[in-house]
Amino acid sequence: MTEEITKRLPRATHEGILHIGDKEIRAAVLENGQRVLTQSDVMRALGRARQAKGRQYYDADVNMPAFLTAKNLKPFISKELEVTSSQIEFKPLKGSRAFGYPAELLPKVCEVFIDAKEAGVLSHTQVRIAEQCKVLYRGFTVLGITALVDEATGYQEVRDKRALQAILDAFLGKELAAWAKRFPDEFYQEMFRLKNWQWRGMKVNRPSVVGKYTKDLVYERLAPELLTELEKRNPRDEKGNRKAKHHQWLTEDVGHPALAQHLYATIGFMRASSTWEQFYRMMQRAFPKKDTTMLLPMGDTDSIA
């Protein structure tokens, strides 16, 4: 029975140690993405024994940490804090079971003790905790604790990959869409004007460098690694051709509207520019590439008759 219960516990995928002041607090990221701090280390960081004795308590969540249930702290504890302060049981990378608290709890606990100390309502023992809370609080904020845990556990790399994947999933469809005209003729007409090329209409094959410019001006600026993913999904065959246009992989609800908005903004900059260099500088300022910080203008000198 115990083994079955353990199997149902959320598992830690990443573990590490937070260094805050002279304190070390073991941290973990669970498979559901929740960040936790181990219960025993939180207690030690606050200078507390595991159980509080000889103190009056108010009627709160039974899983609420004992150090928060003192009656003199109640005015400083929000309902939200009561709800989110329950301990979490999980399966660590090593061992069968561990206990922790949500990572965001610790900064909020520190706020409670600091506020209560300023109000002059703490006991002698609680004042010592409040002093320790000041030290801890300097090391993080409510918004920063998640980043600290991610850095300590190495989860930041997974987090960034998941965030990127979410963006790509929003922009790119699972299946290839039917072809539809997405690039206005004016986009290419303005490009030709700025490059001092002779415009012969859309029915005339455009030079290969136009494809290079299109990738640069559009796909590299819509979303991080979007072009890289498109190149994977829509590779060239042995003859150098692609089976579809890149834009056919974009989603109707996010990808295509973003493309349209970007194209019309780009065309606006083209209209306002007298030279390619002037236009490109405006693009770099307004729509920097998502995959690079390089700000040098393209020096391509290709031309056509």
Sequence-ordered list of residues with C-beta below 8 angstroms from that of 241, at least 6 positions apart, any chain: none
Contact between 213 and 223 under an 8 Å Cβ cutoff? The reply is no
Q: What is d(CA 298, CA 300) in angstroms, rounded to the nearest whole number?
A: 6
Return the structure tokens found at 113.
């003790």
Distance from the Cα of residue 42 to its chain's centroid: 26
pLDDT given at position 119: 94
Q: Please check whether residue 196 is in contact with residue 275, taking contact to mean a CB–CB distance below 8 angstroms.
A: no
Q: Distance (Å, rounded) from C-alpha 169 to C-alpha 251?
A: 9
What single DSSP character describes residue 44? Answer: H
Pairing of strands 88-90, 35-38: unpaired
Contacts of 44 (CB under 8 A, 6+ apart): 23
Residue 7 confidence (pLDDT): 56
Distance (Å, whole) CA 225 – CA 14: 26
Question: In a structure prediction context, what are the per-residue pLDDT tens digits for the chain, which is 305 residues long?
Answer: 444 544 589 999 999 998 887 788 999 999 988 999 999 999 888 887 554 443 444 444 445 687 788 889 989 988 778 767 788 999 999 998 999 999 888 888 999 999 999 999 999 989 999 998 988 887 765 547 777 788 888 887 887 777 777 777 888 887 887 888 899 999 999 999 999 999 988 888 888 899 999 999 999 998 888 999 999 999 988 888 888 999 999 998 889 999 999 999 999 999 999 999 999 999 998 888 875 443 433 334 333 32
Burial of 279 per CB tally in 10 Å (0-12, 13-18, 19+):
buried
Q: If you write DSSP's letter for every residue of 180-221 in order, what string do you get?
A: ---S-HHHHHHHHHHTTPPP--TTSPPPTHHHHHHIIIIIHH
Torsion of CA 75, 76, 82, 83, to 10 degrees: 110
Tokens of 58: 């108010």
Instruction: At 222, give phi and psi (nearest 5°).
Output: -80, -45
SS3 297: coil
